[in-house]
Structures are given as structure tokens and as C-alpha cells.
Structure 1
């Protein structure tokens, strides 16, 4: 695992634990809703993760993009499929999404061992 991937995962885990340790009911419910949203349902997990990636790119949240790229990787989504996801995100979000697409491509390459 690359240092970038490990650093992202470690920070996310550490801060999630810190936030949840505060025992705020609203935040705990929000985290739970997020987890349950991406479970298998009428739509397969793979589709939901690709939808999450598009939304994250359009909203320009680099942490969210990395998270959904990792989940897409776990779902064995191909680079060809990722490129189509990037295409949808850029059409919906406009050219302001291009810098996020660059960083997303870089992280996707890292996940796939193409550093």
C-alpha cells in the first residue's frame, strides 16, 4: 500500500473515531445513514459507489472522491468504467471539476499500483 493511501486511511479512521467518541446523536445517525446508503439494495453496491463518486466530484470534495475511489477499487470497477464516471461528473459539474479529475486519476493510479 502506498504512503498516500495509508495516510488517508489512517487519518480518516482516527478522526472518525474522535468524532464518534463525542457521542453526538445527530452525527452518529448521519454516519449510520451514510453507511447504510451504500449497502446492497435495489441498486448494487458497485452502482452506488459510482454514483457516490460522481456526486463527490461534482461537489468537489477531494476526501470524498478518494473514499469512493477506494470503494470502487474494492468493487473491481475497471479503469474504463472509472473514466466513464469521470465523464459524467465533468458533464454534470462543468470544467471546474477538471482539477479534481486530475487528482482522482492520480489516486486511482496509486490504488492500481501505477505510481
Structure 2
């Protein structure tokens, strides 16, 4: 990782280290991920678009890159991907507005 990078570049070596340190957990994770993204009630493309939106809300750069690549492979258009990102932005902003109720409650009737 260079000093200009905030996150290390994903690597096979890092994946191998994760598997070495916790092989059962890594196997379970891989199986879970594989299962969740299989075609089901939702098409694989839709699942990848959902993952892109969630990745933007959770702000995971690795997930953003990975699921964008997968969505494109599953036939998503650039426009569909951007719409998913805008949905994520609205949901994140909406959560901030909704959580203002906590501050309003804490302030009570004081002005």
C-alpha cells in the first residue's frame, strides 16, 4: 500500500491469510456470499444493483468496485448503476433527517 492510498489493494495473499487464520469462517463466508447472490426470487442483476446501493451506504470501496463489476457482468447498464447509487444517497440522507427526531426529543420543549 502506498502512502497515497487509504485502503490496501485487494490481493490473493490477503484472501489466503484470511483463510489461513480462520478457515471455517472463510468457507462459511464464501458459501453464504455465493448462496445470497444466486438467481432466486430476484434476478442476479437486481441483487448486484442492491449490493451497489448498500455498498455506497456502508461506504465500502472494495464492495463498490466488486459489485459494480459484477452488475455490469450480469447486464446492468451504467444508468441502472447510477440510479442505484442515487437511491443509496437518498436513503442515507433520509436516515439523517429521520434521526433528527432524537435531537428534537432530547431538546424537549426548550428553545
Q: How many residues align?
A: 87
Q: Distance in 1 between matches of 2:11 and 2:41?
A: 29
Task: Kindly indicate whether residue 83 of structure 2 is the aligned counterpart of residue 84 of structure 1.
Answer: yes
Listed one character per residue, the Cα deviations across residues 51-109 of structure 1 (whole Å, up to 9, x for unaligned) are: 111111101111111110110111121111112111101001129xxxxxxxxxxxxxx
Q: Distance in 2 between matches of 1:41 and 1:12?
A: 30
Corresponding residue of 2:93: 94
Tell me the TM-score normalised to structure 2 length. Answer: 0.68
1:14 positional shift: 3.4
Unaligned runs of 5+ in 1: 1-7, 96-115
Corresponding residue of 2:16: 17
Structure number with higher relative contact order (C-alpha < 8 Å, ≥ 6 residues apart): 1
Cα RMSD over matched residues?
2.1
Q: Distance in 2 between matches of 1:38 and 1:20?
A: 21
Tell me the TM-score normalised to structure 1 length. Answer: 0.66
Q: When you count helix as a share of all residues, which structure comes out higher? A: 1
Q: Distance in 2 between matches of 1:14 and 1:50?
A: 28
Corresponding residue of 2:44: 45
Q: Distance in 2 between matches of 1:92 and 1:15?
A: 32
Unaligned runs of 5+ in 2: 1-8, 95-111
